[in-house]
Structure 1
Amino acid sequence: MENSSSFRSSLALAGARLVTKARSIQLGLVASWCVIAVVVLWALFPAWFTSHSGTVGVARQQLRAPSTEHWLGTDALGRDLLARIIHGASQSLSGAFVAVGVGLLVGTALGLIAGSARGRMDGVIMRGVDVLLSIPQLLLSLSIVILLGFGTVNAAIAVGVTAIASFARLARSEVVRVRASDYVEAAFGSGGTFSRVLWRHILPNSLTSVIAFAALQFGWAILTISTLGFLGYGAPPPTPEWGLLIAEGRNYIARAWWLTTVPGLVVILVVLSANRISQSFGKVRT
């Protein structure tokens, strides 16, 4: 009887731990979606969240500490920091969407062609992918943005080009896996044409992992675009952009720490939220 009671207690304790863990995981996912939703609303409707300008400062309001009037303080030109972060969301998010779109579309197309065609075409495409992967991504991004010129769009295109190789390799591996499945062979055996089987069976069943990777790349794109903005290759002043905000505040970090710390925390929070959402897509696939 004692052993049976001890076993039931252990089982109940293990079940309670699993339920607690599941709830914490679910709460983390919900919190991640809420963070992304708020940032998207910042980008689309900044006037809903602040009445201050993101580019125009107020005289005699320089380097004010956080207060009820300016929740996150002001910068060296008297501009409200919260307003600049909110208005800067459109720059960072639009750049991330462009970067992920370039990598997703071009990379998936190359991976689809390589995995479906096989042979010499596969070899040529994947050798080009290997060359791109051998170059450090930040160095390649800097090289491309220097050729294209400064600005958020050019920085986003540069980041997107560096992501093409990763998308292409993942898409090819998924296409090869699906191409060897029994239902695909059955579709070919029943008289399906190559293009029909490709669009109806191979492509839809290969996109789940690619979409999950795109969510992961979204956070990485925000981080890389912010890095380029911090180095001075992104949006020019006074345009509010998260990386530029961090760069502008570093000269005042001893006197006004919030100018660098708060935008940096926003970038970290958005990147972590995008990574958490990406992990949920991967779990759905498995």
Structure 2
Amino acid sequence: MTSLNTIGRSLLRDDTDIPASPSQVLRRASSGGRWLKVIRDIQPGLVLSWFIMAVVMLWALFPQWFTSYSATVGVARQQLRAPSAEHWLGTDALGRDLLARIIYGAGNSLTGAFVAVGVGLLVGTTLGIIAGSARGRIDGAIMRSVDVLLSIPQLLLSLSIVILLGFGIVNAAIAVGITSIASFARLARSEVVRVRASDYVEAAFGSGGTFSRVLLRHILPNSLTSVIAFAALQLGWAILTISTLGFLGYGAPPPTPEWGLLIAEGRNYLARAWWLTTVPGIVVILVVLSANRISQSFGRARA
């Protein structure tokens, strides 16, 4: 009996040495090929863009995680200090840590940008959907109003609205959002008209579907992809425009940290303290480029 058990165990061990079947080899090879394809498809620029946006979002949500300095209170005898181990990006004319002001400024700049994109996305997309669905006189009236908005330079229109509403980051964001309504409306209308002319939409109407049901189930889901990609592109544009308004003095009032205001405050010390304007400007450029790169990836995914 003992010898039989020994022989059985040896046979079981030998079974493990049996080579895999051809189908198993092919499955393993295909699995490895998929992983290689995934690795090859990774785009370093896109990964870096997502990383930058994630870091900036964390700055806006949890600024105390990244700095222990105040963004509004300076330190005596620490004015215009160059970047060092104590102050990584130096200090401004009032002894405030520049890195802390950039980190806390992310909350104001991103909040304003999201408000601006939200206003343009909600109002503009709604108008575009109504125009593309209703057609006729309603479509003509809406699109002529959109043409009037598009004929006015956006920065000039933003400045005019800010002057009417009053200074402040929220008012600046609303002004920037109003100027983007026309772009969202035109894009949404063109997508609705394109999808509505598709064969599957005509088939849905032919099979007895009501207009509201076809609109919700077929037209809107297939029309909003481009609008969402455009919203990501508009996020970078909104950050840049709000920073421009802040630089001109129409954004957040001092001592509130805001990226455009930081650049404006440091321009008088450019010869002595270059970091006061250079570093916030680089941050704005990186965030805008990252938002544009992410928007491009959405557009390619749709194609």
Distance apart, 1:56 and its partner CA: 0.4
Distance apart, 1:239 and its partner CA: 0.2
Could you tell me which residue of structure 2 aligns to residue 134 of structure 1?
Answer: 151
Following superposition of structure 1 onto structure 2, how do residues 171-186 of structure 1 map, counting pairs within 5 Å? 171-186=188-203
Q: State the number of aligned residues.
A: 267
Structure 2: distance between partners of 1:34 and 1:262: 18
Alignment pair present for 1:30 and 2:36: no
Distance apart, 1:133 and its partner CA: 0.1
One-letter amino acid matched to 1:195: S
- With structure 1 as the length reference, what TM-score do the two structures score? 0.92
Alignment pair present for 1:121 and 2:138: yes
C-alpha change, 1:259 and 1:24, in structure 2 (3 Å) is farther
Could you tell me which residue of structure 1 aligns to residue 64 of structure 2?
Answer: 47
Could you tell me which residue of structure 1 aligns to residue 293 of structure 2?
Answer: 276
Structure 1: distance between partners of 2:208 and 2:62: 52
> What whole-Å deviation, never above 9, does each CA across 1:217-241 have from its counterpart, x for those lacking one?
0000000000000000000000000
Could you tell me which residue of structure 1 aligns to residue 79 of structure 2?
Answer: 62
One-letter amino acid matched to 1:279: Q
Alignment pair present for 1:208 and 2:219: no
1:252 to 251, 269, 293: 269
Distance apart, 1:24 and its partner CA: 8.9
Could you tell me which residue of structure 2 aligns to residue 15 of structure 1?
Answer: none
Structure 1: distance between partners of 2:71 and 2:51: 23
Alignment pair present for 1:82 and 2:115: no
Distance apart, 1:200 and its partner CA: 1.1
Distance apart, 1:205 and its partner CA: 0.4
Could you tell me which residue of structure 2 aligns to residue 222 of structure 1?
Answer: 239
> What whole-Å deviation, never above 9, does each CA across 1:227-264 have from its counterpart, x for those lacking one?
00000000000000000000000000000000000000
Distance apart, 1:23 and its partner CA: 5.3
Distance apart, 1:25 and its partner CA: 6.9
C-alpha change, 1:170 and 1:45, in structure 2 (3 Å) is same
Structure 2: distance between partners of 1:216 and 1:278: 5
Alignment pair present for 1:71 and 2:88: yes
> What whole-Å deviation, never above 9, does each CA across 1:176-228 have from its counterpart, x for those lacking one?
00000011111111111111111111011001100000000000000000000
Could you tell me which residue of structure 2 aligns to residue 11 of structure 1?
Answer: none
Alignment pair present for 1:195 and 2:223: no
1:109 to 97, 114, 126: 126
Structure 1: distance between partners of 2:120 and 2:259: 22
> What whole-Å deviation, never above 9, does each CA across 1:152-199 have from its counterpart, x for those lacking one?
000000000000000000000000000000111111111111111111
Distance apart, 1:272 and its partner CA: 0.1
Structure 1: distance between partners of 2:252 and 2:100: 17
Structure 1: distance between partners of 2:131 and 2:281: 39
> What whole-Å deviation, never above 9, does each CA across 1:5-46 have from its counterpart, x for those lacking one?
xxxxxxxxxxxxxx9xx9597110000000000000000000
Could you tell me which residue of structure 2 aligns to residue 232 of structure 1?
Answer: 249
- With structure 2 as the length reference, what TM-score do the two structures score? 0.87
Structure 1: distance between partners of 2:40 and 2:262: 36
Structure 1: distance between partners of 2:173 and 2:107: 13
C-alpha change, 1:250 and 1:29, in structure 2 (3 Å) is same
Distance apart, 1:140 and its partner CA: 0.2
Q: Percent identity?
A: 88
Moved beyond 6 Å, runs of 4+: none
One-letter amino acid matched to 2:297: S
Structure 2: distance between partners of 1:255 and 1:23: 46
